[in-house]
Amino acid sequence: MTLVQMRYFYEVCQWQNITKAAEQLHVSQPTVTVAMQAIETETGLNLFHREGRKITVTSDGAKLLSKISFILGEVTRLDDEIRDMAHRHAKVRIAMPLQLGVVFLPYLLGEFHEAHPEIELEIIETGGVSALQMVEEEKLDFALTNYTVDFSARLNYSKLFDCECTFVTRFEHPLAKRHTVSIRELCDEPLVMLDSSFFIDRLVQDAFGHIGEKPNVIHYSPYLHTVKNLVRSGIASTILARPSVLPSDDFVQIPLLDPIFINSGLVVKKGRQTLDDVRLVMNYLRTLTKEMLIEGKDRPQGLGVTREA
């Protein structure tokens, strides 16, 4: 016996009339009649006394109704619990590297939160490598991050834009007035870099490796503010994704002669169900990115051409 048949049987018993039961169920009268005949055939029980259009429940029918009422009550409670569980999923877990956080966090915690106060955002600021590892381990719903598509075949990558990487230094630096600078010119330059949890480290290492050199990194840090403070103090320069440097930093950014770009976009675990709240946040970020790239809404410099997600 199916749940649909149980619901039909319950309504027929309540109304003791096929037509009224059908109206309550929003189905045709023949549909209910056939369902009642099927139940009697399957159970081998005589469930109703029929007198014209009026029907009454037999003793066997009453016993069956008692058991079906209990089952339907449990199904209703299960539906309620599932709705409660879905409501608790209003917490959306996101990872975002510091270099993108300086651009997107003010919008997520400001504009988006104001429009959707019912959704709790848990945002973890971490490097792209760590972000993708957490997505792969299903510790997060998704990441808005820099990435390389060869990181894991278990992830889906949805590119939104490119992030240009630039040489970042003080205005007093000898190279500060240059329009471009080559990687070879930076071989002896003291650098402070974001550590290996960020994809920019891989790309910079590769760029130096292509000319048979290694970067002169005097310190690695997982913290963007530490990198900036060391640049500000004159100890070293750095290479960062352009959006991570704000006007208030008072740094000069010099494009590389052979540009380095990082893929940036939304990354989710393959096969993982995307809940409505998660999809809402992701769509907001897609729309926001398009506004930044196309309409110039507080456009951060260094974002490349938008891609369809």
In this structure, what CATH number is given to the domain that contains residue 48? 1.10.10.10
- The amino acid that residue 219 corresponds to is H
Instruction: Assess whether 38 and 56 both reside in one domain.
Output: yes
Cα–Cα distance, 51 to 240 (Å, whole number) = 85
**What's the confidence (pLDDT) of residue 55?**
86
pTM: 0.62
3-state SS class at 262: strand
Cα–Cα distance, 279 to 252 (Å, whole number) = 38
Q: Which residues of the chain have pLDDT under 70?
A: 83-90, 294-309
Q: Edge-to-edge strand order for the sheet containing 91-96?
A: 120-125, 91-96, 142-147, 252-269, 155-169, 238-241
**What's the confidence (pLDDT) of residue 36?**
92
Domain boundary among 86, 106, 124: 86
Question: Is residue 130 domain-resident?
Answer: yes
**What's the confidence (pLDDT) of residue 84?**
63
Q: Which domain holds residue 40?
A: 3-86
**Contact call for residues 12 and 58 (beta carbons, < 8 A):** no
- The amino acid that residue 202 corresponds to is R
Instruction: Assess whether 69 and 94 both reside in one domain.
Output: no
Question: Is residue 217 domain-resident?
Answer: yes
Question: Is residue 238 domain-resident?
Answer: yes
**What's the confidence (pLDDT) of residue 292?**
82
**Contact call for residues 32 and 12 (beta carbons, < 8 A):** yes
